[in-house]
Structure 1
Amino acid sequence: MRLYAIGDIHGQLELLKSAHELIAGDDAAHGGGGTIIHVGDLLDRGPDSRGVVEHLMRGQAEGRPWIVLRGNHDRFLPRFARQPDWIDAGLGSGKHWLDHPSLGGAETLASYGIEYDGDHARAHAEVLREVPEAHLRWLESLPLWHLTPRALFVHAGIRPGVDLARQSEHDLLWIRNGFLDDRTDHGPLVVHGHTVVDHVTHFGNRLAIDTGAAYGGPLSAVVFDDAPPQLLTREGRALIARH
């Protein structure tokens, strides 16, 4: 089975559509039947988080073979709707999602037609009115990982030495220290986003695919089939840098 993986999207709907088109062309050229895995962070920072959610929900409803994993940013909006004072333990600043401008929460609200003015109570009321309940439930239901014979796909990474079934949600969505600097064999190749790299990079035991779409970088797509993982480009498949 051919697999494709797409890095962190962060509200960049047009980049997502372009990545899907690139994958469709490659898949058709190789006989079709490929599955696309999105490694999370659908929301925040970019201009159209709502559009990204609707695009992915619609594709799944139409039966497209799209797997969508949960990223740390994908918890903020539904948690705010259910528990407006909640602060994610992964935020070292201890600040609320909407009080931390670099997180991009205001951009997500704007995509739903909500102008954030610093008033949490007003924003919460508008979220309950403007954000479809179906979007919130879909975001809350996203899986944390997807395991295949070729690789383990996850948003941030894993805690080395811990069985997959015992991994904490916090680590799967937030981990950096203890994972990025670990060179041990995890068994399957771990394919992840969360930590931005200049270009898709193979570190031997892991493959980093978040190339900074949130900050003006590309949204990268990688193919996994009988050959080693390769980057999809407009010119065709390309070798991936190794570190």
Structure 2
Amino acid sequence: MQRSYAIGDVHGHLNKLRAAHALIAADRTRTGDMQAPVVHLGDLVDRGPNCRGVLDFLIGGLAEGAPWVLLRGNHDRFMQYFLRPGAQPEPARPDLDWLSPNVGGRETLASYGVETGMHPDRAALHAAAVAAVPQSHVDLLEGLLPCYRRGDVFFCHAGVRPGVPLDDQAEDDLIWIRREFLDDPRDHGALIVHGHTPVQQVTHYGNRVNLDTGAGYGGPVSAVVIEGNAVFHLTEEGRVPLTPQG
């Protein structure tokens, strides 16, 4: 039976990410499966206190050969583009500034020792950010995947554009889409495992599973294990089966 793990939005909370990995480690011990991939659904950075630590943790795990897959979330792309020459805006949402209080870029930069209020203009702040963020972190952001498919499960950050084949999905939709996807009950050709839109608890909607339990707003970083068509929420007490709603 094919087994996959997935972890929802992290938003700079290293301790919560470590806790999610501890639950996966415990499940691996029970199953004896040390090679099933762990798919991180993106939004690794922004809002939380230790964005730098999160990226260091992930880089370290990959360097040790951990079977981890890292997907790009919209917040990760905010950071990715800001660090490029000219502090480029997020291409799908040029109306949003990464440094706006509701986005979380200031917290991310603070984790690298860059205080946004200490620089006279955006150019100076960009220069300070580029100097502070290690190249390994830039490389990680640039190398994040837009999506990942394994058998009958399709992992992405936000969701998919209904009616568009999974192989033809646009990255802007994969990291930004909401209502058009969330409100569509159709079978998308695979079970879609995603985050991006916070929910109170991990929820199986039949055609999709939402793992974003609001880590950026005080909630946990959640993890699941998927075996065939069965999805289980990983908790301190062990696996909790997720029954499709509707």
- Calculate the TM-score normalised by the size of structure 2: 0.93
Distance in 2 (alpha carbons) for counterparts of 1:90 and 1:212: 22
Other-structure match for 1:229: 231
Which runs of structure 2 are paired with 1:59-74 in the superposition (5 Å)?
Answer: 59-74=61-76
CA displacement at 1:32 relative to structure 2: 1.9
Which runs of structure 2 are paired with 1:8-19 in the superposition (5 Å)?
Answer: 8-19=9-20
Distance in 2 (alpha carbons) for counterparts of 1:37 and 1:90: 24
Other-structure match for 1:177: 179
Distance in 2 (alpha carbons) for counterparts of 1:189 and 1:57: 28
CA displacement at 1:120 relative to structure 2: 1.4
Other-structure match for 1:86: 88
Other-structure match for 2:97: 96
Distance in 1 (alpha carbons) for counterparts of 2:130 and 2:58: 21
Matched pairs, number:
241
CA displacement at 1:137 relative to structure 2: 1.7
- Give the conservation status (yes or no) of the 8 Å contact 1:200–1:241: no
Other-structure match for 2:155: 153
Other-structure match for 1:164: 166
- Give the conservation status (yes or no) of the 8 Å contact 1:78–1:136: yes
Change (3 A) 1:147 1:95: closer
- Give the conservation status (yes or no) of the 8 Å contact 1:159–1:167: yes
Q: Residue 45 of structure 1 is aligned with which of 44, 47, 53?
A: 47
Other-structure match for 1:20: 21
- Give the conservation status (yes or no) of the 8 Å contact 2:39–2:71: yes
Q: CA RMSD in A?
A: 1.5
4+ runs deviating over 6 angstroms: none
- Give the conservation status (yes or no) of the 8 Å contact 1:5–1:37: yes
Other-structure match for 2:139: 137
CA displacement at 1:131 relative to structure 2: 0.6
- Give the conservation status (yes or no) of the 8 Å contact 2:232–2:240: yes
CA displacement at 1:16 relative to structure 2: 0.5
Q: One-letter code of the match for 2:209? A: L
Distance in 1 (alpha carbons) for counterparts of 2:232 and 2:164: 28
- Give the conservation status (yes or no) of the 8 Å contact 2:72–2:157: yes
Distance in 2 (alpha carbons) for counterparts of 1:84 and 1:158: 30
CA displacement at 1:241 relative to structure 2: 5.0
- Calculate the TM-score normalised by the size of structure 1: 0.94
- Give the conservation status (yes or no) of the 8 Å contact 2:81–2:90: no
Which runs of structure 2 are paired with 1:28-39 in the superposition (5 Å)?
Answer: 28-33=29-34, 34-39=36-41
Matched, 1:106 2:98: no
Once the two structures are superposed, residues 72-94 of structure 1 have per-residue CA deviations (whole angstroms, 9 ceiling, x without a partner) of 100112211114343224438x1
Distance in 1 (alpha carbons) for counterparts of 2:131 and 2:88: 19
Q: One-letter code of the match for 2:111? A: S
Other-structure match for 2:115: 115
Once the two structures are superposed, residues 71-125 of structure 1 have per-residue CA deviations (whole angstroms, 9 ceiling, x without a partner) of 0100112211114343224438x13211x20111100000111001173122111
- Give the conservation status (yes or no) of the 8 Å contact 1:7–1:211: yes
Q: Please list every run of 5 or more consecutive structure 1 residues that lacks an aligned counterpart in the other structure.
A: none
CA displacement at 1:166 relative to structure 2: 1.9
Q: Residue 196 of structure 1 is aligned with which of 170, 185, 198?
A: 198
- Give the conservation status (yes or no) of the 8 Å contact 1:3–1:225: yes
Q: One-letter code of the match for 2:11? A: H
